[in-house]
Amino acid sequence: MGNFFVPNEAEFRTIEEIAASDSDCSVVMMNLNTYSEEAGYPDGLPYSDWMKVLDVLIKQAGGKKLWQLPVMGQPIGNQDLDEIIAVWYPSHQAFLSITQQPASEENFRLRNLCVKYAVLHRCPGDVIALS
Protein backbone atom coordinates (compact mmCIF):
# COMPACT_ATOMS: atom_id res chain seq x y z
CA MET A 1 0.00 0.00 0.00
CA GLY A 2 2.87 2.39 0.67
CA ASN A 3 3.02 5.43 2.85
CA PHE A 4 0.12 7.74 1.95
CA PHE A 5 1.13 10.25 4.60
CA VAL A 6 2.41 13.47 3.08
CA PRO A 7 2.89 16.12 5.75
CA ASN A 8 1.92 19.73 5.26
CA GLU A 9 5.40 21.18 5.70
CA ALA A 10 4.21 24.68 6.63
CA GLU A 11 1.90 23.29 9.32
CA PHE A 12 4.64 21.06 10.73
CA ARG A 13 6.97 24.08 10.90
CA THR A 14 4.26 25.92 12.85
CA ILE A 15 3.89 22.95 15.23
CA GLU A 16 7.68 22.78 15.68
CA GLU A 17 7.84 26.54 16.39
CA ILE A 18 5.08 26.26 18.99
CA ALA A 19 6.77 23.20 20.54
CA ALA A 20 10.06 25.08 20.86
CA SER A 21 8.47 28.17 22.37
CA ASP A 22 7.49 29.18 25.89
CA SER A 23 3.86 29.16 24.74
CA ASP A 24 3.62 25.45 23.90
CA CYS A 25 0.17 24.24 24.91
CA SER A 26 -2.13 21.25 24.75
CA VAL A 27 -3.54 20.21 21.41
CA VAL A 28 -6.25 17.89 20.09
CA MET A 29 -5.56 16.04 16.88
CA MET A 30 -8.68 15.03 14.97
CA ASN A 31 -7.89 11.99 12.81
CA LEU A 32 -10.32 11.47 9.92
CA ASN A 33 -9.60 8.03 8.48
CA THR A 34 -10.64 5.88 5.55
CA TYR A 35 -9.42 2.29 5.82
CA SER A 36 -8.16 -0.16 3.23
CA GLU A 37 -9.83 -3.51 2.66
CA GLU A 38 -6.72 -5.14 4.14
CA ALA A 39 -7.44 -3.45 7.48
CA GLY A 40 -10.63 -5.41 7.98
CA TYR A 41 -12.26 -2.45 9.69
CA PRO A 42 -13.92 -2.63 12.18
CA ASP A 43 -13.29 -6.22 13.32
CA GLY A 44 -10.27 -7.35 11.31
CA LEU A 45 -6.99 -8.36 12.88
CA PRO A 46 -4.76 -5.70 11.24
CA TYR A 47 -7.10 -2.91 12.40
CA SER A 48 -7.45 -4.42 15.90
CA ASP A 49 -3.68 -4.81 16.20
CA TRP A 50 -3.16 -1.21 15.11
CA MET A 51 -5.67 0.13 17.65
CA LYS A 52 -3.86 -1.73 20.46
CA VAL A 53 -0.47 -0.34 19.40
CA LEU A 54 -1.92 3.14 18.83
CA ASP A 55 -3.29 3.19 22.38
CA VAL A 56 0.18 2.30 23.71
CA LEU A 57 1.85 4.96 21.53
CA ILE A 58 -0.56 7.68 22.64
CA LYS A 59 0.13 6.87 26.30
CA GLN A 60 3.89 6.82 25.67
CA ALA A 61 3.62 10.35 24.28
CA GLY A 62 1.60 11.50 27.30
CA GLY A 63 -1.62 11.77 25.32
CA LYS A 64 -5.15 10.50 25.78
CA LYS A 65 -7.64 9.17 23.27
CA LEU A 66 -10.75 11.27 23.87
CA TRP A 67 -13.08 9.38 21.60
CA GLN A 68 -13.25 7.13 18.59
CA LEU A 69 -16.39 7.03 16.45
CA PRO A 70 -17.44 5.22 13.29
CA VAL A 71 -18.78 7.48 10.56
CA MET A 72 -22.34 6.47 9.68
CA GLY A 73 -22.88 8.89 6.82
CA GLN A 74 -22.33 12.41 5.60
CA PRO A 75 -25.40 14.59 5.05
CA ILE A 76 -23.35 17.51 3.66
CA GLY A 77 -20.16 17.34 1.61
CA ASN A 78 -18.37 14.49 -0.06
CA GLN A 79 -15.62 12.90 2.03
CA ASP A 80 -15.55 9.11 2.34
CA LEU A 81 -14.58 8.38 5.97
CA ASP A 82 -14.79 5.26 8.11
CA GLU A 83 -13.81 6.67 11.49
CA ILE A 84 -12.89 9.79 13.44
CA ILE A 85 -10.44 9.58 16.35
CA ALA A 86 -9.78 12.52 18.69
CA VAL A 87 -6.47 12.47 20.59
CA TRP A 88 -5.44 15.03 23.21
CA TYR A 89 -1.73 15.76 23.76
CA PRO A 90 -0.45 17.85 26.69
CA SER A 91 1.71 19.87 24.28
CA HIS A 92 2.69 20.21 20.66
CA GLN A 93 6.06 18.76 21.69
CA ALA A 94 4.29 15.64 23.00
CA PHE A 95 2.56 15.25 19.63
CA LEU A 96 5.89 15.59 17.82
CA SER A 97 7.44 13.01 20.15
CA ILE A 98 5.32 10.16 18.80
CA THR A 99 7.98 9.34 16.22
CA GLN A 100 10.54 8.74 19.00
CA GLN A 101 8.38 6.51 21.21
CA PRO A 102 9.08 2.75 21.57
CA ALA A 103 5.76 1.79 19.90
CA SER A 104 6.25 4.21 17.00
CA GLU A 105 7.73 1.85 14.40
CA GLU A 106 5.04 -0.80 14.85
CA ASN A 107 2.31 1.85 14.94
CA PHE A 108 3.37 3.34 11.63
CA ARG A 109 3.81 -0.10 10.03
CA LEU A 110 0.26 -1.06 10.95
CA ARG A 111 -1.13 2.38 10.13
CA ASN A 112 0.34 2.17 6.64
CA LEU A 113 -1.27 -1.26 6.23
CA CYS A 114 -4.69 -0.13 7.48
CA VAL A 115 -5.18 3.46 6.39
CA LYS A 116 -6.12 4.22 2.81
CA TYR A 117 -6.63 7.95 3.38
CA ALA A 118 -6.26 10.26 6.38
CA VAL A 119 -6.58 13.89 7.29
CA LEU A 120 -5.33 15.24 10.59
CA HIS A 121 -6.73 18.48 12.00
CA ARG A 122 -4.96 20.41 14.80
CA CYS A 123 -7.42 21.87 17.31
CA PRO A 124 -7.06 23.70 20.63
CA GLY A 125 -6.54 21.33 23.55
CA ASP A 126 -7.49 23.73 26.32
CA VAL A 127 -11.21 23.51 25.57
CA ILE A 128 -11.35 19.80 26.46
CA ALA A 129 -12.35 18.70 29.94
CA LEU A 130 -10.21 15.67 30.74
CA SER A 131 -11.51 13.12 33.20
Query: Rounded to whole angstroms, how far apart are CA atoms 100 and 128?
Result: 26
pLDDT grade for 5, boundaries at 50, 70 and 90: low
2: pLDDT strictly greater than 60: no
> End-to-end distance of the chain based on CA atoms, in angstroms?
38
- The rounded distance, in Å, linking the Cα atoms of 29 and 52 is 18
Residue 66 identity = L
Confidence of residue 3 (pLDDT cuts 50, 70, 90): very low
Q: Collapse the DSSP code of 120 into the 3-class scheme (helix H, G, I; strand E, B; otherwise coil) and give the result.
A: strand
What the chain holds in terms of domains, given with CATH numbers, is 24-124 (3.30.70.100)
pLDDT tens figures, 61-104: 999 999 999 999 999 998 899 999 999 999 999 999 999 999 99
pLDDT tier for residue 1 given thresholds of 50, 70 and 90: very low
